[in-house]
Structure 1
Amino acid sequence: MFDRIGEFLGQYLEFDRPERQAYVSQDFDALCEMLRVGDVLLVEGRAKISSGIKYLTQSTWSHAALCVSDQTSGAPCELIEVTLEEGCHKIPLTKYKGFNTRVCRAVSLDDDERKAVARYAEERIGLRYDKRNIFDLARYLLPFPPIPIRWRRRMMSFGAGDPTRAICSSLIAQAFQSVNYPILPTIEMSSAAGASKWHHREVWHIRHYSMFMPRDFDLSPYFAVVKPTIKKGFDHRKITWAEPEELANTEAEAGASSIPLGEGDTESGGNGQSQQVG
């Protein structure tokens, strides 16, 4: 019974709502050409669960996926992701055509390490989604009663602790930690044993993989943000801008086709759902 309820809940929360996306800036062809094995693709989701994650994390990015196959090998681009409904599985990059995305690339990794990161994720295909992690993340971000941030991680355990379960960002964090690559480590200054009190060294502490969120790959100073359009080659001098007369005519046509809204009315899309404005 609980499995059926979970399946229904997953379908409801992950139902895609394209009308929620006001503007798409992605150049999909450039993305396909530029994406490489080991890259992290952050996605601005449009489903109900995506809205909740974006609210909790105060970030544009609600989902993360790992590239495990790119066009340099002659194969289509493929990603590993973990979703509420399907768990850990492999998908084509085309699933996120029409979404706003960001590519985060780990610097200093060689080809063998990138393949090791991808292989780690592929070996975990079939894992189920760790639903408890979502509730624990919410408790961490919205604590009650209020607890200082520096104490929360020591007082809470994240997720079910079941090795057969994962979430999107935690699986990717584990994959990079498997090759000792940092994402957002805690760095402390510590006195070396037997040294003078003036001699200190940096000590890096690995954060537990379940504490990572999609935005952490964007915030990490060890991941480069790669923009496909710029990487492909962008020259503003080649842009053909609309003439002022054309722009005025376009605005006039748009204004004539719009229907004024009366007091108390709401703007809705073709399927009757309220459109997101702003």
Structure 2
Amino acid sequence: MRLLKPVISFLTDWLTHEVQKITSPMCDFERIRHELKPCDVVLIEGRSRVSQVIKQITHSPWSHAILYIGRLHDIEDCRVRETIAEAYHGSPDEQLILESELGFGTVVHPLSRYQGEHLRICRPNGLSFSDSQQVIHYAVSRLGLDYDVRQILDLARFFFPYAILPRRWRSSLFQHSPGAETKTVCSTMIAEAFSFIHFPILPLVKHSGEEGVQLFQRNPKICKPSDFDYSPYFQIIKYPFMDYTHHSDYKLLPWHGHGILEGSEGDFYMSPRKLEELKRNGSSAPITSPSDLKH
């Protein structure tokens, strides 16, 4: 086991290394920070190697999910506050999140850790204050659990056609072993917390004729960060860095200027000069038939 620890530590460092640089912010962190309410789920477009793996597996840009728990004084239960205070030794006025992350396990971190990242708020519709405290209570009870790398691999196998995989390669997500769970991943931990109060994320809806419908809770182990984005039971809140609603018209956004694109930016974005050329070429080639739209 001692020999394995350096190997595991090396692999963890390699997987969590951020291979993509932070570009211009896609969202306004300050507005998101002031908008957040306890029990909001925040999605993150990660930049590490393991984030790229999760994105490929789930076919989604969202690779990580965190649960916003607010400041210490936002927590109603004094025992939960004490547990959080033992796990986090920063300022009591700090906005806190709870997350399960490779290399850390299930921990409390400050929200400021994700300043500059691409974020999206998913707010559970109609969640009462008492239920939100129950969700936080459950999530806090998972503090200290290790990150379950095997579950990520299991999820990958789950997305392959089941019939063509050898039996020994098939996913074991639904095989329950006795005893309490000792590992988890970000979205599973949050999904379990909402399942604790029977709040739906992506339930199975079964129509039963004259008796109406019945809902079945999805196994939290197959919950992905993008499921909170896709769920009709969560409100999606976006705060773009440059919001044209404050300018009354998107045409008033600061598109014009003399900024210079650097490096690979020129391959992905249009300079003011290229935009002018595009406008000139477009105006000089009027559309005379539907077939012109294909060119």
Q: Which runs of 5+ in 2 are unaligned?
A: 75-91, 270-295
Q: Distance in 1 between matches of 2:215 and 2:253?
A: 50
Q: Distance in 1 between matches of 2:267 and 2:143?
A: 35
For residue 16 of structure 1, give the secondary structure of its aligned residue in structure 2: coil
Q: Does residue 35 in structure 1 map to residue 50 in structure 2?
A: no
- Measured after TM superposition, the shift of residue 76 of structure 1 is 2.0
Deviations 1:202-236 (A, max 9, x none): 01111111010000000000000012469x99422
- Measured after TM superposition, the shift of residue 241 of structure 1 is 5.0
1:7 aligned residue = 9
2:208 aligned residue (190, 206, 210): 190
1:214 aligned residue = 225
1:171 aligned residue (189, 192, 205): 189
Q: Which runs of 5+ in 1 are unaligned?
A: 148-154, 192-198, 260-266, 270-274
1:106 aligned residue (124, 135, 158): 124
Moved over 6 A (4+): none
For residue 8 of structure 1, give the secondary structure of its aligned residue in structure 2: helix
- Measured after TM superposition, the shift of residue 117 of structure 1 is 0.7
Q: Distance in 1 between matches of 2:10 and 2:267?
A: 25
The verdict on how the C-alpha distance between 1:217 and 1:241 changes in structure 2, with shifts beyond 3 A counting, is: closer
Q: Distance in 2 between matches of 1:120 and 1:22?
A: 35
- Measured after TM superposition, the shift of residue 16 of structure 1 is 2.2
1:264 aligned residue = none
- Measured after TM superposition, the shift of residue 23 of structure 1 is 4.0
- Measured after TM superposition, the shift of residue 181 of structure 1 is 0.3
- Contact 1:42-1:104 within 8 A present in 2 as well: yes
Number of paired residues?
242
Q: Distance in 2 between matches of 1:243 and 1:228?
A: 19
* TM-score (normalizing by structure 1): 0.77
The verdict on how the C-alpha distance between 1:63 and 1:276 changes in structure 2, with shifts beyond 3 A counting, is: farther
- Measured after TM superposition, the shift of residue 75 of structure 1 is 2.5
User: What does residue range 23-102 of structure 1 map to in structure 2 within 5 Å?
Assistant: 23-70=24-71, 73=74, 75-102=93-120
* TM-score (normalizing by structure 2): 0.73
RMSD: 3.2
- Measured after TM superposition, the shift of residue 7 of structure 1 is 2.0
- Contact 1:88-1:127 within 8 A present in 2 as well: yes
1:157 aligned residue (168, 172, 179): 172
- Contact 1:43-1:99 within 8 A present in 2 as well: yes
